[in-house]
Amino acid sequence: MQNSEKILVINSGSSSLKLTLYSIGSKQRLATGFVERIGTDAANMIYSRNGETKIEKTVEAKNHAIALDLVTQYLIDPEIGVIKSLDEINAIGHRVLHGGEIFKTATLIDTDVITQLRYLVPLGPLHMPANIGGVEACKKIFPDAQNVAVFDTAFHQSMPAYASRYAIPNEYYEKYGIRKFGFHGTSHHFVTLAASEFMGRAPEELKLVTCHLGNGSSLAAVKYGKVYDTTMGLTPLDGVVMGTRSGNIDPAVVLTLVRQGMTADEIDNMLNKQSGLFGVGGIDSGDMRDIVSNAAAGVATAKLALDMWAHRIVFYIGGYSSLIGGADAIVFTGGIGENSWQAREKVLSRLESIGCIMDEKANSTRRGPCYVSTPDSPVAVIIMPTDEELMIAKQTSEVVSAYRASIRKEEAERDFVI
Ligand code: ADP
């Protein structure tokens, strides 16, 4: 793939669509477009060029194809656009929630792959139809471009069965595919590579615990470049305490609530949208900034939420470190992991027993990429900003380059035979 080549990255949610155009050689983000409230007649659209907002307005976007069409027109606008023609875009990377057990790496999308993605809809009933819709919309607007699916689950496919299976009867795995998949794979993968580069070592020789801490949060034990275990499960509800999600709970809590008369949808809503920092903090916010400031001001429920959040993360970092035979580094990323020194301090102040010696000043003042452990700390602690979209662009570029090389090889072999 040529260095000047443009890669479009699409993140298509149930009612939103985010688009980012990269110049792959310079890793430069040329433009972004975001449309939310798709399906209503008052969708909100933002278009930015080189990080500067150029257009923000209410639009009528009945579906994802219309939303995509609207934003792409700005990409070629003579005044505020960044390319002359949509033909300049030959490769499109799609963020896809679930690859099930079928997809272990990023994959070129053809009709068979679309069929397989449809088969996976039950594993992600909210996200998968939107992800497929994004691919179909691109096929209409960019009929000659190659589409590549980059899966949130793929990086975690290296987990051994004893980490990924639940100890329930085998038939539930065999019949319904119920097992741990893990999510945020693109981010865990990105920071694994970036932290290794930062440490001047190859990922294949490092043992890391990567902590993606945002509204949605997950940790991964990454041994020699491959995921060994991760905190999210069949769905992104499992694991640590999140902005509005409970993380792991005794499964019998659900049964108890069913017996109290709650429906599956009500429990789903409570665990996904009303729980976590929001549900415990008692301040009508699941935003870590509000939790930290209220905890500091003495609000007991906010302090409890923060303590629960840190407790669970310390538990997993210690456990994962032990599972991979001792970590070389703990890597923090995501909105909280990168920005909230108070939240990080809560965790790091309890990790000396596994060899993490926090540099308090560095932790409270530095911004990533950086070390926040002392130079003599046996285990390094690193803040590494994530960039999931850049990772999708890079993987798309690799898949399309490999595809083009295989076509060239086939053509050369055919010419030779003739
Ligand atoms: P999402 O999972 O929605 O992508 P993000 O990674 O954007 O979430 O993280 C959102 C979280 O990051 C919020 O809890 C927010 O409080 C926290 N956060 C973002 N910026 C800062 C900041 N400058 N200081 C402290 N916390 C921050």
| pLDDT tens, residue by residue, 39-70 | 888 899 999 998 899 999 999 988 889 999 99
Residue appearing with tokens 């027993």? 353
Q: Is 386 exposed, middle or buried (0-12, 13-18, 19+ CB in 10 A)?
A: buried
Q: Is residue 185 part of a domain?
A: no
* Whether residue 252 sits in one domain with residue 128: no
Rounded-to-integer distance, Cα 115 and Cα 122, Å: 13
Helix (H, G, I), strand (E, B) or coil at 276: helix
**How much of the chain exceeds pLDDT 70, in percent?**
99
Q: Is residue 109 part of a domain?
A: yes
- And the tokens for 86? 């949509």
> How does pLDDT run across 289-346, given as a tens digit for each residue?
999 999 999 999 999 999 999 999 999 999 999 999 999 999 999 999 999 999 999 9
Indicate the number of domains in the chain: 2
Which segments of 274-340 does DSSP mark as H helices, in order? 276-281, 288-296, 300-323, 334-339
Residue 293 CA, ligand 1 centroid: distance in Å = 14
Pair of tokens at residue 208? 């890391």
Per-residue pLDDT at 2: 56
Distance 8 CA to ligand 1 centre (A): 25
Res 42: pLDDT:
86
* Among candidate residues 126, 151, 176, the one where a domain is terminated: 151
CA 289 – ligand 1 centroid, Å: 8
Which atom of ligand 1 is nearest the CA belonging to 291?
Answer: 16
Report, as an integer, the average pLDDT of 24-28.
Answer: 84
- Last residue within a domain, chosen from 123, 151, 179: 151
Ligand 1: atom nearest CA of 337 is 12
Residue 76 has pLDDT above 80, yes or no: yes
Q: Which of 18, 36, 215, 346 to mutate to test the pocket of ligand 1 (most atoms within 8 A of CB)?
A: 215
Q: Is the pLDDT of residue 78 over 90?
A: yes
Pocket test for ligand 1, best of 340, 342, 365, 366 (most atoms within 8 A of CB): 340
Flag whether 174 is in a domain.
no
**Where among 99, 124, 151 does a domain terminate?**
151
Of 41, 77, 112, 152, which is the active-site residue? 152
Domain that holds residue 63: 6-151
Decide if 111 is inside a domain: yes
pLDDT tens-digit map of 379-409 = 999 999 999 999 999 999 999 999 999 888 8
The one-character DSSP state at 78 is: T
Q: Are 117 and 365 in contact (CB under 8 A)?
A: no
Ligand 1 first shell, C-beta below 6 A: 214-216, 243, 287-289, 334-336, 339-340
Q: Is 152 a catalytic residue?
A: yes
* Residue 26: per-residue pLDDT: 82
Residue 291, both tokens: 């939790």
- Residue 187 is assigned to a structural domain of this protein: no
Query: Same domain, yes or no, for 99 and 220?
Result: no
CA–CA gap between residue 122 and residue 105 (Å, rounded) = 20
Residue 264 belongs to some domain of the structure: yes
> Do residues 32 and 139 share a domain?
yes
For ligand 1, the distance from its centroid to the CA atom of residue 335, given in whole angstroms, is 3
- Which mutation among 273, 288, 309, 366 tests ligand 1's pocket best, with the greatest number of atoms within 8 A of CB? 288
Buried-state track 291-308, b at ≥16 Cβ within 10 A, e below 16: bbebbeeebeebbebbeb
- What does the pLDDT read at residue 407? 87
Distance CA 161, CA 277 (A): 32
Residue 115 CA to ligand 1 centre (angstroms): 36
- What is the model's pLDDT at position 1? 54
**Amino acid 288: pLDDT:** 97
Helices and strands: H and E segment counts in the chain: 15, 14
Residues near 15 by Cβ (< 8 Å), separated by ≥ 6?
36, 37, 38, 39, 130
Query: pLDDT (tens digit, 9 = 90+) per residue, 121-159?
Result: 988 888 899 999 999 999 999 999 999 999 999 999 999
> 203 preceded by cis ω (within 30°)?
no
Sort strands 52-59 and 43-49 into parallel, antiparallel or unpaired. Answer: antiparallel
Q: Is residue 403 part of a domain?
A: no
pTM (2 d.p.)? 0.94
Query: Is a pLDDT exceeding 80 seen at residue 283?
Result: yes
Residue 92 — pLDDT band, cuts 50, 70, 90? Answer: very high
Q: What is the pLDDT of residue 5?
A: 87
Read off the pLDDT band of 3 (50, 70, 90): low
Amino acid at 102: I
Same domain membership, residue 196 and residue 115: no
Let me know whether 226 and 333 are in one domain.
Answer: yes
